Amino acid sequence: DTAVSQTPKYLVTQMGNDKSIKCEQNLGHDTMYWYKQDSKKFLKIMFSYNNKELIINETVPNRFSPKSPDKAHLNLHINSLELGDSAVYFCASSRGQTRGTEAFFGQGTRLTVV
């Protein structure tokens, strides 16, 4: 009965490939996010998506594109993978702009680019 679920949990791929990570939440939240956690455990917001509005962190390369088929899903597609993309990617969701809403995180996807 997982609240925020991501697949796959582990992903190993070669440089130059294109890959997707899927995320689903069953909390009825209206805002979803993608975060990247690097090898030093530093967490950084990549995207937020609320009611079809996508807000992009300007530091994210355009090889990364989120896709939301509906309010409960926010998938992350990555083109032309690079070694530096290796990290753990976390999906999260919250009740958007409502005051005091915390974000709930998925279990993470460990991406290794070789």
* CB environment 68-79: b (16+ within 10 A), e (fewer): beebbebbbebe
List 11, 23, 46, 87, residue binding another protein (CB under 8 A): 46
| Burial (CB count within 10 angstroms: exposed 0-12, middle 13-18, buried 19+), residue 55 | exposed
Q: Please count the CA atoms within 13 angstroms of the CA of 42 that sit on its side-chain side.
A: 3
Site residues for another protein, 90-109, by CB under 8 A, read: 90, 92, 99-100, 102-108
Residue 27 touches another protein, criterion: CB under 8 A: no
Identity of the residue, 14 or 102, whose beta carbon is nearer to another protein in the bound complex:
102
Q: Which residues contribute to the site for another protein (CB under 8 A)?
A: 33, 35, 40-48, 50, 55-59, 90, 92, 99-100, 102-108
